[in-house]
């Protein structure tokens, strides 16, 4: 008989261990089943035809349509709505010439909604015999003039503006800075801004008056003087051939009736 004592395990402990093992296997099977069901559900959702992009809805825009937005953003009916990046679409739409900014949202079951804030046409750039519509900061919106009511910016520079680009030529930017600085009332009277150089900006008003502004600097003082002189002319029911505000502390004007007189009158 062996001297080593055989240690017997309590039957209750063995049954407990087997029960725990069975419980673990059941939990594993249940977890695996749940994962498989969720995976199948997700697969069905992502590939469901209900979630394909069926419409690109553009709001807030009169110059940009759904087809143009879909094309620039690369959207079509093969895209899954849940996989569309609103920020990515907004960035691409913002590359369009008329778009100042865009906000994109997804709407179930299959709509991409694009809310656009458009740039506003401000002036018509005239170079040689060609014209382009610009906003107030020189962004090229389109070829040609969208309205005959917009003031014309005329320059002698040689550039080839393209829709979507920004005209950064010094004299054109000086002309736009001068135009932006005007009061709304005076701005409405401007028919053209002449900019042969950045230092020789001239406004042509709709009554024929030429306003010599000079460089696009000290504009607050120049505009204040211009407002006073225009108000004075209106009060006197008079017109001028030109108003010179290049030196705002020493402005000058030439009344229309004295146009033949080469010596202009000065106004302090």
CA dihedral 18, 19, 25, 31 (to 10 degrees): -160
pLDDT attached to residue 31: 73
Give pLDDT tens digits along the chain (268 positions).
Answer: 444 445 565 666 666 666 677 667 677 666 766 666 565 556 656 666 778 899 999 999 999 999 999 999 999 988 888 889 999 999 999 999 999 999 999 998 899 999 999 999 999 999 888 999 999 999 999 999 999 999 999 988 777 899 999 999 999 999 999 999 999 999 999 999 999 999 999 999 999 999 999 999 999 999 999 999 999 999 999 999 999 999 999 999 998 764 444 444 444 3
pLDDT attached to residue 16: 65
pTM (2 d.p.): 0.76
Q: Where do you find CATH 3.40.50.10960 in the chain? A: 123-266
17, 51, 88, 103, 206 from 110: Cα distances, Å: 54, 5, 17, 17, 52
**Residues whose CB falls within 8 Å of the CB of residue 107, separated by 6 or more in sequence, listed in order:** 57, 113
Q: Give the number of other Cβ atoms within 10 Å of residue 147's Cβ.
A: 8
Q: What is the DSSP string of the chain?
A: --SSPPPPPPHHHHHHHHHHHHHHHHHHHHHHHHHHHHHHHHHHHHT-GGGB--EEEEES-SS--HHHHHHHHT--TTSBGGG--HHHHHHHHTTSTTEEEEEEEEETTTEEEEEEEEPPP-EEEEETTEEEEE-TT-BEEEES-S-TTSPEEEE-------TTSB---HHHHHHHHHHHHS-HHHHTTEEEEEESSTT-EEEEETTS-EEEEESS-SHHHHHHHHHHHHHHHHHTT--EEEEE-SSTTS-EEEEGGGTT-SS-EE--
| Cβ–Cβ under 8 Å, residues 239 and 256 | yes
CA dist., res. 124 & res. 77, Å (int): 39
Residue of 86, 14, 84, 27 whose CA lies nearest to 54: 84
The answer to whether the Cα torsion of 31, 37, 40, 46 is positive or negative is: negative
Q: N- to C-terminal Cα distance for the chain?
A: 134
Residue/partner pairs of 169-172 with CB below 8 Å, 24 or more apart: 170/198, 171/195, 171/196, 171/197, 171/198, 171/201, 172/125, 172/138
Q: Looking at the structure, give the CATH architecture of the domain made up of residues 51-118.
A: Roll (3.10)
The pairing of strands 123-127 and 152-155 is parallel
Q: Where do you find CATH 3.10.20.310 in the chain? A: 51-118
What CATH code is assigned to 123-266?
Answer: 3.40.50.10960
Residue listed under structure tokens 């080469």: 262
Instruction: Please name every residue paired with 124 in a beta bridge, in sequence order, or none if there are none.
Output: 133, 152
């Amino acid at each position: 008989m062996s001297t080593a004592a055989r240690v017997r395990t309590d039957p209750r402990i063995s049954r407990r261990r087997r029960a725990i093992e069975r419980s673990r296997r059941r939990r594993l099977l249940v977890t695996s089943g749940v994962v498989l069901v969720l995976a199948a559900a997700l697969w069905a959702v992502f590939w469901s035809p209900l979630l394909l992009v069926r419409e690109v809805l553009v709001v807030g825009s009169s110059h940009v349509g759904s087809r143009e937005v879909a094309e620039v953003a690369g959207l079509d009916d093969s895209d899954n709505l849940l996989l569309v990046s609103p920020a990515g679409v907004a960035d691409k739409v913002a590359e369009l010439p008329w778009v100042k900014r865009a906000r994109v949202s997804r709407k179930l079951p299959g709509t991409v909604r694009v809310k656009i804030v458009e740039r506003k046409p401000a002036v018509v750039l005239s170079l040689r015999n060609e014209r382009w519509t610009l906003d107030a900061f020189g962004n090229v919106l389109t070829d040609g003039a969208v309205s005959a009511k917009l003031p014309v910016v005329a320059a002698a520079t040689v550039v080839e503006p393209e829709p979507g680009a920004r005209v950064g030529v010094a004299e054109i930017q000086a002309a736009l800075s001068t135009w932006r600085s005007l009061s709304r009332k005076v701005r409405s009277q401007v028919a053209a801004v002449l900019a042969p150089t950045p230092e020789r900006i001239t406004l042509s008003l709709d009554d024929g008056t030429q306003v010599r502004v000079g460089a696009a600097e000290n504009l607050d003082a120049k505009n204040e003087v211009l407002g006073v002189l225009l108000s004075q002319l209106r009060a006197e029911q008079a017109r001028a051939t030109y108003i010179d505000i290049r030196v705002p502390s020493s402005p000058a004007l030439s009344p229309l009736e004295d146009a033949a007189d080469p010596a202009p009158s000065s106004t302090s």
